[in-house]
Chain A
């Protein structure tokens, strides 16, 4: 009995255990529901899944189901980020416990009952429990925001190497706080149209209304909501990575204010999409530039640190280019987390900006379904990039070392980047090939995407198996993680 209690405590009361459970839930959800579309549907797996699992799929409810699905996955991702934040940003133990408990129940209720409601008939009790889960998530967000309040005396910076305001206010903590409060507001921007459309069962996917000349305020709110939520999730993981690499010094002092003002600006821009759509875009561009600049400074700092630390470890004082490069690539987890921020510019930000600039001149010369493919690819890739950074961080935190660390890191990095590049070519194929002649290109790009994503899935599965097997050991890694003190500052 004690051994069960110990393992339960690890899984639901330690940071690494909680994250492990959340990743496992996402992996399970992805494994099951990915069989319903894409290549799995083409191979006939969808029919088997539906029959074997007894799903009740009504054609007219497809969009509603998808909304439930990605909210379920998003809540688990947000829970993971909350666990990371509460573990690395100093707060009272009582606050940490309350926030983590609320967010754990929140995402589990959302995920389990949301999917149950959406895919296995409409039991309204489950719908209520799904909403209860979302409410718990919001509640935990309020608690987190309170806990992150940066203006208390005990939270002022003690080490002046970190960004701070004139009164010693910790700018990094302020950035976390800004992100949290922006998230709460942005949730409300989505919750209002969500309850309107959900209540009348008129749920829709934003990519299906993009060309409507007159969008309603509520439709615009949905579009603003989904964009800003993904941005804020990205900002949160960027700040977590900053902590991981002990980001400090002059670049930190520049990057943190940029992050704060960028977050505020993008958030306001996304909210202003509702009343002032045209102007809002310019505000979003300005805010995005600030945050992307901050990420660039983090990457520069991180690359230098990776090289410096490794060379110092090797005792090399005068290194050539090759040695520096090898040092940079020595740790695929830390390098990978930073590299993904760079790569994102080529695969998502770049194409996104291109699309915005050429919308009328190029993109809208094509049928709406072509534009839809670009949009869908765009946010799938951004989500996946964030997911890989989370995996790099988690693998480091659970003590993946040696060859396993190398293999896991490089497989995730190369596999995902191969897939992203292939998807980019796929989604922008109309730039260089006509519809009638596209099939060979489609086949090749989707093959590379499948190979890349398959490799990522295998690496993730290996990590999961390792951790679950470890749970059966009396003195496995889990025991150390369960009792490890939080190292927040």
Chain B
């Protein structure tokens, strides 16, 4: 009897593993260009849950989508060749000049030196590295999925390599919300086919469980993908995936705190964490499959 229980548990575990693997092989092409930029005009907007009027006095552009695996692979090839990043102990690392240290409670010093960008041995990394050619390629089926796992250092380095930067929290929120008090990029309420979040029941969840898997960037474009009807869910300025799919690193370096802020919620978040003002944070060297990024210029 005891053996039967052990066998049953093992079988369940194997089924879980197998379904997670199946999800990684899905192939869905986005209908929104991965290279587009959305223009955000200068002006005031309402920031935060309590709608504090905030001014951004300049125009800027934000990527329509999160940076994809394909884009990041291309960047790594170029950055490696240019000597901007290096491979050390199966990690992509790059130099970071360090943060000002304020000695605040719980604050850790972020010193100058090489910092982790990408863990090459992480089983969930969707990039393959050819050591002979010194080239990266996105895993088949994941070319247009958001680049994960990537640390804040890795995200920042990507943006800066092309002369761009990570958005500040204010820039990110304005791009997601526009100038009214909406809680979600597309409006006042959230439906399951607005975004990729916990138990949103997208096709990727069928195989991988409620936490799901990343969806291709721009997936929620109002079209039907493999029989799954999405709602067109851009922000007022046309940016997609500003809620759900992956948390997005922002560029601010908070005073008295070494953590960096994340916005937007992810595939593993409950719907309320997809509200535009919701904050998460993590150490700048932290990475997982629910954190990606996009740039502004």
| B-binding residues in A (CB < 8 A) | 37, 41-42, 59-60, 62-63, 200-202, 204, 208, 211-214, 277-278, 359-360, 364-369, 434-440, 442-443
Contact = CB atoms under 8 A, between A and B. Distances in A.
A367 B282 contact: yes
B107 interface: yes
Interface string B156-200: 000000000000000000000000010110001100000000010
B194 to A, nearest CB: 13
10 contacts: A42-B210, A60-B183, A204-B49, A211-B106, A213-B106, A359-B106, A366-B282, A367-B281, A367-B286, A367-B288
Interface stretch (B33-41, B65-73, B250-258): B250-258
A359 B208 CA distance: 31
Given A60-B183, A440-B209, A211 B259 contact: yes
Contacts of A63: 49
Nearest 7 CB-CB pairings of A with B: A213-B256, A59-B183, A439-B209, A440-B16, A367-B282, A436-B289, A435-B288
B288 A213 contact: no
A357 to B, nearest CB: 14
Contact of A368 (B102, B184, B272, B281): B281
Given A60-B183, A368-B282, A435-B268, A442 B273 contact: no
A277 B183 contact: no
Given A59-B188, A369-B273, A436-B124, A360 B108 contact: yes
B210 A213 contact: no
Contacts of A214: 104, 255-256
B272 A59 contact: yes
B138 to A, nearest CB: 17
Main secondary structure of the interface of A (DSSP, over half): helix
A211 B255 CA distance: 12
Contact of B262 (A201, A212, A367, A440): A367
Contacts of B270: 37
A77 B259 CA distance: 38
Nearest to B262: A367
Nearest to B271: A41
A208 B275 CA distance: 14
B181 A60 contact: yes
Nearest to B254: A213
Nearest to B184: A59
A277 B106 CA distance: 12
Contacts of A204: 49
A271 to B, nearest CB: 19
Interface string B18-35: 001000000000000000
Contacts of A434: 288
Contacts of A277: 105
B13 interface: yes
A486 B273 CA distance: 50
B279 interface: yes
B245 interface: no
Contacts of B269: 369
Given A213-B104, A213-B254, A440-B13, A368 B279 contact: yes
Nearest to A441: B16
Contacts of B277: 60
B211 interface: yes
Contacts of A213: 102, 104-107, 254-257
A436 B49 CA distance: 29
Contacts of B50: 60, 200-202
A16 B49 CA distance: 44
Nearest to B274: A59
